[in-house]
Amino acid sequence: MIQPVIAIHGGAGAMSRAAMSPEKEQEYLAALNGILSAGQAVLAAGGSALDAVTEAVRRLEDCPLFNAGHGAVFTSAGTHELDASIMDGATLRCGAIANVTCVRNPVLAARAVMEHSKHVFFVGPGAEDFARAQGLELVDPSYFSTDARREQLLRVQRENPDAAVLDHDGQALVARGQPAPADPLDADKKFGTVGAVAVDAQGNVAAATSTGGITNKQVGRVGDAPLIGAGCYASNRSCAVSTTGTGEMFIRTVAAYDLAAQMEYGGASLQAAADRVVFETLPAIQGKGGLIAVDSRGNVVLPFNTEGMYRGYARVGEPPVAAIYQ
């Protein structure tokens, strides 16, 4: 009998301990634990892995602490463009949306694409029209904005107006007497995707990933989060994976599928395959970030090659485990 388990992530990146308060760290850990508990409850009630990851990512999108949905980062034009994907390991069905501006919960739109369309991937106005036709909640784009994210955009644009900043050194700002980021992970140096993976009592796995992208990104840019095989993948024959990091590098290495393929075709364990992707394949092209993955036997891994990653897991019948740093 498999012990169902869910794992989540809320982005990876560099520490900003110079600005971190114990209260802020506890705020993040409480959010992670609450979301884990919600996904765990779905599995404990006999729900599917697909339902568990949907619920977890929906809640991550609704939490302003994380870069997805409410609290998404701004593009260079001061707008929001959201992406999401989901995959069912039992059937290999999947759905994805990108560059949406008014869909409250992009993961729900991705799931609707999977379940109610003959296609896999919708973008822009077409994705929004599809979400509207499915009766999903649409919001004014201002819903996604927070003061913290707006200040993040302005800070980045002051430093380097032409850069879509993935690797901005918040500690350098502190050294120059500028305000430090107030998050446990430096918001200017954090790769802000959210995601969930799970295996249910039937041994079925699922994965979902959602993001607001990267601060000051060029309008129209799409990273790995909505790309099946790069930022999200699930197959009962191997594992379920959700990634977070320098999206372009995860795309170039097809990171999520690479992990699964090592298991299915090479006989690698979940741990060995994940470690190879995160600590060998990605760093070879300066790829930074991490991933979460589960296999159909209930094994869980959460490796990352940055200083921290918002992450956690919860097995049915056991207390959730959440962490930020190495």
Sheet holding 300-301, edge to edge: 232-234, 239-245, 289-295, 300-301
Can you give the CATH number for the domain in which 33 is found? Answer: 3.60.20.30
- Whether residue 164 is contained in a domain is answered as no
Over residues 179-194, the mean pLDDT reads 76
d(CA 165, CA 153): 9
Q: Dihedral sign for Cα 248, 233, 144, 25, please.
A: negative
**Considering the domain boundaries, does residue 150 fall inside one?**
no
Q: Across residues 67-77, what is the average pLDDT? A: 93
| Any domain includes 177 | no
> 247 among the known binding-site residues?
yes
Concerning whether 193 is annotated as a catalytic residue, the answer is yes
Q: Is residue 166 part of a domain?
A: no
Which is it for the CA torsion 8, 228, 93, 295, positive or negative?
negative
pLDDT tens-digit series, residues 136-178: 999 999 999 999 899 988 888 888 766 554 432 333 333 334 4
Residue 246 annotated as lining a ligand binding site = yes
Q: What pLDDT score does 165 carry?
A: 45
Q: Is residue 154 part of a domain?
A: no
How far is Cα 237 from Cα 69, in angstroms, rounded to an integer?
31
- CB-based contacts of 41, cutoff 8 Å, min separation 6: none
192 known member of a binding site:
no
Sorted by sequence, the CB contacts under 8 Å of residue 176 that are 6+ apart come out as none
Domain that holds residue 10: 5-145+191-325
Residue with tokens 């700002």: 173
Q: Give the pair of three-digit tokens for residue 194.
A: 């959210």
Residue 254 assigned as binding residue: no
Task: Give the residue-averaged pLDDT of 291-311.
Answer: 97
Residue 120 φ/ψ region, left for φ over 0, alpha for ψ in the -120 to 50 degree band, beta for the rest: alpha
Is the four-CA dihedral 126, 89, 107, 255 of positive or negative sign?
Answer: negative
Identify whether 186 is part of a domain. no
DSSP secondary structure letter of residue 220? T
Answer whether 305's CB lies under 8 Å from 277's CB. Answer: no
Structural domains counted in the chain: 1
245 annotated among ligand-binding-site residues = yes
Question: Is 223 assigned to a binding site?
Answer: yes
**pLDDT tens column, 26-71:** 999 999 999 999 999 999 999 999 999 999 999 999 999 999 999 9
Query: Which one of 101, 193, 253, 281 is the catalytic residue?
Result: 193
- 210 domain-assigned: yes
Span of 16-25, 27-36, 117-126 with lowest mean pLDDT:
16-25
Read off the tokens for 244. 């977070």
Maximal CA-CA distance, the chain: 57
* pLDDT tens string 199-257: 999 999 999 999 999 999 999 999 999 999 999 999 999 999 999 999 999 999 999 99
What does the block give as tokens for 94? 């999947």
Q: Is residue 68 part of a domain?
A: yes
